[in-house]
């Protein structure tokens, strides 16, 4: 297999660097705030369809990043995009909202178990922010218990101390506990009697650069009970995991009902939308909020969302994504075994994390292995959890295993110390 | 002229109220957090095209709210939407960004006078937040001087004390001064030596419920000079006014260069996008920020923005919108004069505010007048500034004057005390 080259990507990057901070920022960044090492990844894409991306150099990739979540039904899903285009012909961002807003809210209420109502916005962070503000307003308390490794967006309140532009004052009411440690939560609640407005957490821990962590079976029921006893608002941030664990909500997957639940990413298969849903007891507090945005009720993403959720239900999208993820992680593990290396696969298979383990706990061989995969057409992240979608085929998986095999051979030759 | 009825809107509102907080929220709200009085306004629209909206009851409105800003070239502009649709066929929100991001950044840099680079996001608030965080990081200082009536989004840091869900800690570094009061700014700077990170302001004051206020001619040059002397970052929030005062930026309109300038609304004629642009001296600070979002580099809005800005330049959109606004406000004033009432028109004509003045300073006759306008097909806001676009015709204006005349007659009959 010949490794891809990215000449046109690099040319465009030089051009981007003239007019865009870091040239590329965020997950895609290769500049000062970089996550992706220069050289392994394509930097600009020409086209996306189904589960594939074609870069500007003509290379094709099976995309296990799925736009970092939104791509659940395949890029350019014909049903979702047809619904979006029908709505576009009528109107999108207009002064008076379209009735499709109601349809979309009804669809969420009938789909998400804890949802008695839905509020729409644009970023995952818009709705995690609204959730925290609502919890504070509903309880008259200030403090929020968050998980040490949680990610809830980029606004000041949810960034870590010392992050550029974030003041200590803005985060001084955050209390941090490790995920899946009920006793730590209980102690934090006991240490701050009557002060905890909410507990904010992803349904399980998707930690960058580390294995993902699922909770113990009784963890969420115990947290739920504690919240009920102490009048604490339980907020599940389902922006990333939503619609990949359980269409009824990741809280429902773990047998509980959140008070507030945030959604985004897969909610409209890539059309720009996020939602806060919640129980009827929380509605009055949400209604008091001063919270709106120019594009929040745009009709095209709402129509796309109705179509996406309808289709995800019809085809049992979660079942498909889980099954594909099981085959994928099992096959990758077998390929690793055959090459004498240890591959760790954690998280749910539809939302998985893989790490090539090094006995010295270095991530370098892992990153090299990932780089060799990407340069042969399998787009995986070296730091982020990954996603399956409903259109990945057995041929895609087989191609992935073939590439993985070759990449394992390259990396074990370079780093023989990882052989077990 | 027969006043419109909104039976289907009200039916849909009852249905919305089951699943959406307040039924409708934000600018459209008629519930607890309402701005619009129930009964005057259509609540749901079926279709939008050009400068018109058709509601679900089949009523047509000339829309002077322009989606609260985004509609600058007319709803469904054929050039902008064709560009968006061409990009949609290639890809929208994908794992690897499209080269159209570079085109859009280059377009902004060549168009906006103070822009050496561009950073893209989704909400106006995303970029005002990034601007403030960047100013703090760049200066190592905490305090931000803001205008008493400024609006910069809904996140905690830019809301007022006492707003539900907002903690005093989150806004304790905001310092407020009246707009167009250079001495107040100067005193605030002198009172906090070495503590001011930035000054954040809209280019002129668009105050809800009040006349708009333009600055004195030497105001912005004086502020600019003070910022230079004291190492303060000058942030112009051009989300609302951008592309309606001067395509090169509203700071340029007033003869200065901002350090950071925020854009949104008209930037992509309704496709969901916002941008922060700035001078080269600020780029290094922006590059340090931990700031990204799932949909921020989606290709469809970027392609729409390139097309929108290109077209706005080609047709001299600002000139058209200013001229239309001048004809409109002049005609409305003449109609008011002929009816013996005083209509105040403030702000730039492309971004204007009208208030029917009552000698007792009540806004009730104004709201009644606006209601009668809306119920005859002229959609204007009773509290917000309004906008012109490039597709309003002389016939639209004449229809507006005819409706205004009838509405003045109704309101003067009901409130004869407003006759001068």
The phi-psi region of residue A209 (left if phi > 0; otherwise alpha if psi is between -120 and 50; otherwise beta) is left
- Whether residue B27 is found in the same domain as residue B128: no
- Whether residue A198 is found in the same domain as residue A172: yes
Q: B270 and A92 in contact by Cβ < 8 A?
A: yes
Is residue A136 within 8 Å of A174, Cβ to Cβ? no
Question: Tell me: the pLDDT tens digits for A82-113?
Answer: 999 999 999 999 999 999 999 999 999 999 99
Q: A96 and B43 in contact by Cβ < 8 A?
A: yes
Residue of B nearest to A87 (CA): B47
pLDDT of A27 above 90: no
Over pLDDT 70: what percentage of chain B?
Answer: 98
A90 contacts chain B (CB < 8 A): yes
**Looking at residue B141, which CATH number applies to its domain?**
3.40.640.10
Residue B214 in tokens: 């333009």
Question: Tell me: the pLDDT tens digits for B104-150?
Answer: 999 999 999 999 999 999 999 999 999 999 999 999 999 999 999 99
Contacts of A43 in chain B (CB under 8 A): 96-97
Q: A91 and B105 in contact by Cβ < 8 A?
A: no
Distance between CA atoms of residues B115 and B342, nearest Å: 42
Residue A20 in tokens: 């865009």
Nearest to B286 among A21, A85, A122 (CB): A21
Among A274, A292, A314, give the residue marking a domain's end: A314
**CA distance between the termini of chain A:** 26
A77 contacts chain B (CB < 8 A): no
Instruction: Give the pLDDT band (50/70/90) at residue A208.
Output: confident
Establish if B371 belongs to a structural domain: yes
pLDDT at B35: 66
The phi-psi region of residue A311 (left if phi > 0; otherwise alpha if psi is between -120 and 50; otherwise beta) is alpha
What is the rounded (10 degree) CA torsion for A60, A66, A71, A72?
110
Q: A47 and B117 in contact by Cβ < 8 A?
A: no
Q: B172 and A172 in contact by Cβ < 8 A?
A: no
Q: Is A361 helix (H, G, I), strand (E, B) or coil?
A: coil
Among B314, B329, B347, give the residue marking a domain's end: B314
Mean pLDDT calculated for residue range A205-230: 95
Contacts of A11 in chain B (CB under 8 A): none
Question: Tell me: the pLDDT tens digits for A45-80?
Answer: 999 999 999 999 999 999 999 999 999 999 999 999
Q: Is B50 helix (H, G, I), strand (E, B) or coil?
A: strand
Q: Is A357 helix (H, G, I), strand (E, B) or coil?
A: coil
A397 contacts chain B (CB < 8 A): no
The residues, ordered by sequence, that sit 6+ positions from A352 with a Cβ below 8 Å of its Cβ are A212, A325, A328, A329, A345, A346, A385, A386, A387, A388
Contacts of A53 in chain B (CB under 8 A): 91, 94-96
**Looking at residue B32, which CATH number applies to its domain?**
3.90.1150.10
Establish if A249 belongs to a structural domain: yes
The phi-psi region of residue B319 (left if phi > 0; otherwise alpha if psi is between -120 and 50; otherwise beta) is alpha
Q: B165 and A293 in contact by Cβ < 8 A?
A: no
- Whether residue A111 is found in the same domain as residue A209: yes
Q: Is A159 helix (H, G, I), strand (E, B) or coil?
A: coil
Establish if A72 belongs to a structural domain: no
pLDDT at A33: 52
- Whether residue B169 is found in the same domain as residue B271: yes
Is residue A376 within 8 Å of A406, Cβ to Cβ? yes
Residue of A nearest to B110 (CA): A19
Element (H, E) at A124: helix A124-139
Residue A231 in tokens: 């009048």
pLDDT at B364: 93
Task: Select from B18, B275, B294 the residue whose CB has the most chain A CBs within 10 Å, as the one to mutate to test that interface.
Answer: B294
Residue of A nearest to B26 (CA): A292
Q: For the ranges A19-28, A281-290, A297-306, B151-160, which has the lowest average pLDDT?
A: A19-28
Residue A218 in tokens: 């009784």
The phi-psi region of residue B325 (left if phi > 0; otherwise alpha if psi is between -120 and 50; otherwise beta) is alpha
Over pLDDT 90: what percentage of chain A?
Answer: 95
Maximum C-alpha span of chain B: 64
Establish if B2 belongs to a structural domain: no
pLDDT at B34: 60
Q: B90 and A48 in contact by Cβ < 8 A?
A: yes
Establish if A88 belongs to a structural domain: yes
Contacts of A17 in chain B (CB under 8 A): none
- Whether residue A51 is found in the same domain as residue A95: no
Q: How many domains does chain A have?
A: 2
Q: Which stretches of chain B drop beneath a pLDDT of 50? A: none
A242 contacts chain B (CB < 8 A): no
The phi-psi region of residue A112 (left if phi > 0; otherwise alpha if psi is between -120 and 50; otherwise beta) is beta
pLDDT at B248: 98
B319 contacts chain A (CB < 8 A): no
Residue B24 CA, distance from chain mean position: 20
CA distance, residue B322 to nearest chain A CA (Å)? 21
**DSSP string covering A69-98:** TT-SS-BT-HHHHHHHHHHHHH-SS-SS--
pLDDT at A39: 84
pLDDT at B1: 86
A78 contacts chain B (CB < 8 A): no
Helix axes A7-19, B100-111, angle to 10 degrees: 20
Distance between CA atoms of residues B420 and B417, nearest Å: 8
Residue A329 backbone dihedrals phi, psi, to 5 degrees: -70, -35
Distance between CA atoms of residues B45 and A302, nearest Å: 14
Nearest to B95 among A53, A89, A153 (CB): A53
Residue B295 in tokens: 């949909």
Contacts of A106 in chain B (CB under 8 A): 18-19
- Whether residue B199 is found in the same domain as residue B279: yes
Q: B68 and A294 in contact by Cβ < 8 A?
A: yes
**CA distance between the termini of chain B:** 26
Contacts of A124 in chain B (CB under 8 A): 293-294
- Whether residue A196 is found in the same domain as residue A287: yes
pLDDT at A25: 85
**DSSP string covering B318-365:** HHHHHHHHHHHHHHHHHHHHHTT--EEEEEETTEEEEEE--TT--SHH
Instruction: Give the pLDDT band (50/70/90) at residue A287.
Output: very high
- Whether residue B206 is found in the same domain as residue B334: no
Q: Is B404 helix (H, G, I), strand (E, B) or coil?
A: helix
Residue ranges of A 109-168 with Cβ closer than 8 A to chain B:
109, 116-119, 122-126, 129-130, 132-134, 136-137, 142, 153-157, 159, 163-167
Strand partners, B391: none
- Whether residue A34 is found in the same domain as residue A153: no
Q: B155 and A129 in contact by Cβ < 8 A?
A: yes
Establish if B1 belongs to a structural domain: no
Residue of B nearest to A68 (CA): B95
Which residue in B170, B158, B101, B278 sits closest to A26, CA to CA?
Answer: B101
- Whether residue A159 is found in the same domain as residue A255: yes
Q: A272 and B298 in contact by Cβ < 8 A?
A: yes
Residue A14 backbone dihedrals phi, psi, to 5 degrees: -60, -40
Residue B200 in tokens: 């954040």
A10 contacts chain B (CB < 8 A): no
pLDDT of A390 above 80: yes
Among B282, B314, B346, give the residue marking a domain's end: B314
- Whether residue B162 is found in the same domain as residue B214: yes
- Whether residue B70 is found in the same domain as residue B99: no
Establish if B345 belongs to a structural domain: yes
Residue B251 in tokens: 């700071």
Distance between CA atoms of residues B215 and A106, nearest Å: 47
Distance between CA atoms of residues A33 and A245, nearest Å: 31
A75 contacts chain B (CB < 8 A): yes
CA distance, residue B361 to nearest chain A CA (Å)? 26
Which residue in A261, A381, A92, A26 sits closest to B294, CA to CA?
Answer: A26
A50 contacts chain B (CB < 8 A): no
Question: Tell me: the pLDDT tens digits for A109-168?
Answer: 999 999 999 999 999 999 999 999 999 999 999 999 999 999 999 999 999 999 999 999
Task: Select from B6, B8, B10, B21 the residue whose CB has the most chain A CBs within 10 Å, as the one to mutate to test that interface.
Answer: B21
* Mean of the per-residue pLDDT values of chain A: 96
Domain that holds residue B168: 78-314
């Amino acid at each position: 297999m010949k490794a891809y080259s990215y000449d046109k990507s690099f040319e465009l990057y030089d051009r981007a660097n003239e007019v865009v901070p870091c040239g590329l920022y965020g997950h895609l960044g290769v500049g000062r705030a970089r996550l992706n090492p220069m050289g392994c990844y394509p930097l600009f894409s020409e086209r996306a369809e189904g589960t594939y991306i074609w870069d500007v150099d003509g290379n094709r990739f099976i995309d296990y990043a799925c736009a970092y979540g939104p791509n659940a039904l395949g890029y350019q899903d014909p049903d979702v995009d047809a619904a979006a285009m029908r709505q576009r012909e009528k109107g999108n961002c207009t002064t008076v909202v379209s009735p499709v807003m109601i349809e979309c809210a009804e669809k969420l209420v009938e789909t998400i178990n804890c949802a008695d109502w839905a509020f729409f916005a644009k970023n995952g962070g818009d709705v995690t922010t609204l959730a925290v503000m609502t919890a504070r307003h509903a309880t008259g308390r200030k403090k929020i218990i968050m998980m040490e490794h949680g990610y809830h967006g980029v606004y000041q309140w949810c960034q870590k101390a010392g992050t550029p532009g974030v003041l200590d004052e803005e985060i001084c009411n955050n209390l941090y506990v490790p995920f899946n440690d009920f006793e730590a939560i209980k102690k934090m609640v006991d240490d701050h009697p009557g002060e905890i407005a909410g507990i904010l957490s992803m349904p399980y821990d998707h930690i960058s650069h580390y294995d993902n962590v699922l909770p113990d079976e009784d963890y969420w029921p115990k947290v739920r009970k504690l919240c009920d006893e102490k009048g604490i608002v339980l907020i599940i941030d389902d922006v990333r995991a939503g619609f990949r664990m359980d269409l009824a909500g990741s809280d429902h997957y773990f047998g509980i009902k959140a008070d507030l639940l945030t959604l985004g990413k897969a909610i409209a298969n890539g059309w720009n939308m996020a939602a806060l849903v919640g129980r009827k007891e929380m509605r009055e507090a949400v209604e008091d909020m001063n919270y709106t945005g120019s594009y929040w009720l745009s009709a095209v993403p709402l129509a796309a969302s109705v179509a996406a959720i309808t289709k995800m239900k019809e085809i049992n999208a979660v079942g498909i994504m889980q099954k594909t993820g099981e085959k994928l992680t099992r096959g990758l593990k077998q390929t690793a075994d055959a090459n004498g290396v240890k591959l760790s696969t954690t998280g749910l298979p539809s939302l998985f994390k893989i790490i090539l383990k090094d006995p010295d706990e270095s991530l370098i061989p892992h990153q090299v292995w990932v780089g060799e995969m990407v340069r042969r057409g399998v787009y995986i992240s070296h730091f982020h959890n990954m996603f399956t979608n409903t259109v990945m085929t057995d041929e895609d998986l087989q191609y992935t295993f073939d590439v993985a095999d070759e990449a394992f051979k390259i990396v074990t030759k370079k780093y023989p110390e990882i052989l077990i």
